[in-house]
Amino acid sequence: MITRNFFLFLSQNKFIKNKATKWGPKIGAKQVIAGTTIQEAMEKAAELNKHGLVCTVDHLGEFVYNKDEAIDSANYCVRTLDAIAESGVNCNLSLKLTQLGLDIDRNLCRDNMLRILETAKKHNIFVRIDMEDYSHLDATLDILQELRQSYDSVGTAIQAYLHRAEKDVQNLKGTNIRLIKGAYKESPEVAYQDKKEIDGNYLKIIKTHLLNGSYAAIATHDHNIINEVKAFTKENNIPKDQFEFQMLYGFRNELQKEIANEGYKMRVYIPFGEDWYGYFMRRLAERPQNVTFALRGLLSK
């Protein structure tokens, strides 16, 4: 049986990743990944903007082995910010600190972020640090805190499956936070394993952050959660400009447009780049139905 754990195992397997890159288009990756170049990502963002959707782009890449690769990754983020400004799309940037050298040298990673944020400030573009697995959480929050001493337009994401999520959200009062259920495999010592408990904690941290008066990006494809958030914000007079919904590119496209048509800000997360493998495997792990993408791709010519 194809299980969540199986795909999460595959997402971290570097040998299979190297082999898999060749057959990406065949297994349907292109339905959820917006091409390999900045130009393609900008075209997709412009297209979505036409439908009233705003965007965030993420240059995929997770395993960075040396300083030069980390600096290259940061340069790529800078070029992406320049391209967003030049093309005039309504779009911001998402990135991962491991791409920028978090596992190599924390100072290198912070310096890369400072360079990116200086460019972002010049263009007035927000930068979101995606949250990775638990082993990177403290380092990510420490770096964020340091960056926020000089830059406002930077935030991160908090995962509701973690027991400590509520405490982290309280500590991040006043920060623009993406709230998510969480995509990695974590141990019962640190994370809820039961879907009901995760959903319960998810709603709890969303409400906490909103009632704190902070900006929330509610990133989920779960219509039940979305409906609860709509009702909660109405009941509590939380203005529509204090939060946004987010979904991944290629998922629930009709619902994305529906939400935007109702006057909510709806942001689409557009991943692009050659290094699509880990991202794609995590999506298969979340929702076995996504495997039909892959099978359809394999069976078609």
Residues of this chain that interact with ligand FDA (CB under 6 A) are 130-131, 157, 159, 180-184, 219-222, 246-248, 251-252, 269, 286-287
Nearer to ligand FDA, 29 or 247 (CB): 247
Distance CA 238, CA 44 (A): 31
One-letter amino acid at 151 equals: Y
Tell me whether residue 184 or residue 272 sits nearer to ligand FDA (CB atom): 184
CB-based contact 30:301 (threshold 8 Å): no
How far is the C-alpha of 157 from the C-alpha of 216, rounded, in Å?
10
Helix, strand, coil percentages for the chain (3-state, nearest 5): 55, 15, 30
Q: How far is CA 32 from CA 94, 99, 212, 259, 278, in A?
A: 16, 20, 34, 20, 13
CB nearer to ligand FDA: pick between 133 and 146: 133
Q: What is the DSSP letter of 153?
A: S
Q: How far apart are CB 19 and ligand FDA at their closest, in Å?
A: 25
Q: Is 252 labeled as catalytic in the residue annotation?
A: no
**Residue 67 or 195 with smaller CB distance to ligand FDA:** 195
Q: How far apart are the first and last CA of the chain?
A: 26
Residue 284 Cβ vs ligand FDA, minimum distance, rounded to whole Å: 12
* Rounded distance between C-alpha atoms, residue 254 and residue 256, angstroms: 5
Q: How far is the CB of 265 from ligand FDA (least distance, A)?
A: 13
Out of 110, 128, 130, 282, which one is annotated catalytic? 130
Which of the residues 110, 128, 178, 283 is marked catalytic? 178
Structure tokens at 117: 């944020």
CB of 136 to ligand FDA, least distance (A): 10
- Least separation, in Å, of the C-beta of 301 and ligand FDA? 25
Degrees to nearest 5, angle at CA 194 with 277 and 247: 45
Closer to ligand FDA by CB, 112 or 220: give it: 220
Known catalytic residue at 130 = yes
Secondary element (H or E) of residue 217: strand 216-219
Residue 70 or 131: the one with the smaller Cβ distance to ligand FDA is 131
Beta carbons within 10 angstroms of residue 136's beta carbon: 17
Report which of 244, 253, 274 is spatially closest to residue 44, judged by C-alpha positions. 253
d(CA 137, CA 264): 30
Distance in Å, CB of 57 to ligand FDA, minimum: 11
Phi, psi angles (nearest 5°) of residue 284: -65, -35
Amino acid at 94: S
**Catalytic site residues?**
130, 178
